[in-house]
Structure 1
Amino acid sequence: MTRSIIVLSGHRSLDVGGVGTHLSLLDRMLSRAEYPHIMCYGRKPVDILKSAVLCNSARWLFPQLHVPIRQESFVQGMIRVLVKAIRGTSCKPDLVHCHDTFSTLAAKYVREAEGLDIQIVQTTHAPLLDEYLINHPDNHYLHDMAMSWDFHGYNASSRVIAVDTLQKELVRRIHDRVPVTVIPNAVDLAELADIRTKCIKTPERPYICVARHLSRKNGIPVAVEAYRRCKSAERYQLVVVGDGQDRPIVEKLIVEHKLEKKVLLMGKRSRNETLQMIANASVSLIPSIPIHNYVEATSLTMLESLGLGCPIVASSIGGLQEVLEGTEAGLLVPPNEPQALADAIDGVLSDGQLRERMRNRGMELAREYDTNAWFLRHREIYESL
Structure 2
Amino acid sequence: MTSMADNPGASLMGGVVLGQRFQVVEQKGAGGMGVAYRALDLETRKQVIVKIPQVPATVDLDFEARRRIMGRFDREGRLLNELEHFNIPAVIDRGEYGSVPYLAMTYIHGDKLTKYRQNTVPRLAEFAAIGSSVAKTLAACHSTGIVHRDLKPDNLLVGENGVVYVIDFGIALPLNKDTSRYTRNFVGTDDYSAPERFLGAEPVEQSDLYSLGCVFYHLLTGRPPFVVDGRKTLEKQHLEDSPAPPSRFVADVDPGLADLTLALLEKKMEDRPGIEAVLEVLRPHLPTVGALEPNPVSLPDVTIPYRTPDAVHPPEAAAGHRSTSVRPFRARERRDFLTEADIVEAIRQATFEHDSGDGAAAALILTELRSQAIETFGEGNPKLVPIERALNLLEGR
Could you state the TM-score of these two structures normalised by the residue count of structure 2? 0.24
- Computing the radius of gyration from Cα coordinates, the structure with the larger value is 2
Could you state the TM-score of these two structures normalised by the residue count of structure 1? 0.25
- More helix by proportion, 1 or 2? 1
Q: Which has the higher contact order (CA 8 A, sep 6+)?
A: 1
